[in-house]
Amino acid sequence: MTVSMNQGAYYTGHYRNLFAEYGYNEEEIAKKVQDTWDALFGDHEATKIYYELSEDKGYLLDTGNLDVRSEGMSYGMMMAVQYDRQDIFDKLWNWTYSFMYMTEGLHKGYFAWSCQPDGTRNAQGPAPDGEEYFALALFFASKRWGDREAPYNYSQQAKDILHTCLHQQPPGFPMWNPDNKLIKFVPEVEFSDPSYHLPHFYELFALWAYEEDRNFWKEAAQASRDYIDISCHPVTGLAAEYAHYDGTPNHIRGFGHFFSDSYRVAANIGLDYAWFGVDPRQRDIADRIQAFFADKQPDDYSRYTIEGEPFEEKSLHPVGLLATNAQASLAASNEATAKAAVELLWNTPVRTGERRYYDNCLYMFAILALSGNYRIYL
């Protein structure tokens, strides 16, 4: 399963279907994708996370916290554009733009990270992972479906979001540090979250952002690949939820260990390698992560130090963790552990119950990616 450098899908137009490579047939793969979409966006109450407020507004519900998060809304938009569901995309974006977008105050131009399902804000601050997913989902929507009247002038909205992320004026704060080009955990702080780093997104921002910002995004892609490398442990491959700019864990509020946010690093490595295939370090990190989990069962997943020492506290999102580990197979070079991670995902159903939101978002992305259906639209 060796992939040559610069042979990512951006350059070749070929999206690897690891399910097919590992022996599943096209019919059952298509059914797996469809069933996963239906579980999240259909009517099955035990698995669904998409709900509609009105004929023109819908939202993804964090079923564990009973709120609506910019993270989830941006994830839902990315899923919808990948699945070619403009109707759902527009309902999600209309809800987001109507209730989360802040038009005044310290965070003008950003999106409130948490709201109630009726749109009432729980917070007036943003979370940068939402903004970066909003921007790329909107760019893809423009490429797939074309721009319409505001707020469905997708490409303009995306460019404005990215401009604000870099140039939000005092008394506000930019979301990226202008010197080291690294994304912040929130605009007001000077540390990062390794799982926020999406170099494959920044490569595309460098093509489509306002021209004066394109070089920044190109440099940010390289800076984030370097940051992922230094923030992942050299033996286990695990990264902390919060980390300083030098990659070392930031233990503020107890977030300096491998836990829920951290799971996404493996998925991001897999997708960056699948799309661009330019960083061989990602293959080694993917191998380390998969080797660490190879002898562990999902029921036993825990919070870990990045060195791999377990806490008594169990994982809140074991399905999400196994899904992201499987997505890392797009970068991995160890055939045995990569295949085992993919087979574990294939044989695990979407999660039910109150904690299902985060798990099932990560599950859906992994199913799309591993079936060759998480694509760049140019």
Residue with tokens 């490595």: 269
Amino acid at 132: E
Active site residue 188: no
- Burial (Cβ within 10 Å: 0-12, 13-18, ≥19) of residue 175: buried
3-state secondary structure of 64: coil
d(CA 349, CA 161): 35
Active site residue 71: yes
The half-sphere exposure of 306 on its side-chain side, counting CA atoms within 13 A, is 24
3-state secondary structure of 63: coil
Catalytic residue among 62, 90, 226, 261: 261
Which pair of tokens denotes residue 7?
């042979």
Which pair of tokens denotes residue 94?
């209309």
Decide the pairing of beta strands 68-69 and 114-115: antiparallel
* CB neighbour burial string for 155-172, b if at least 16 within 10 angstroms, e if fewer: bebbbebbbbbbebeeeb
Instruction: Give which of 7, 29, 88, 136 is closest to 368, Cα–Cα.
Output: 29
Q: Nearest 5°: phi and psi at 52?
A: -115, 135
Catalytic residue among 71, 131, 193, 284: 71
Catalytic site residues? 71, 261
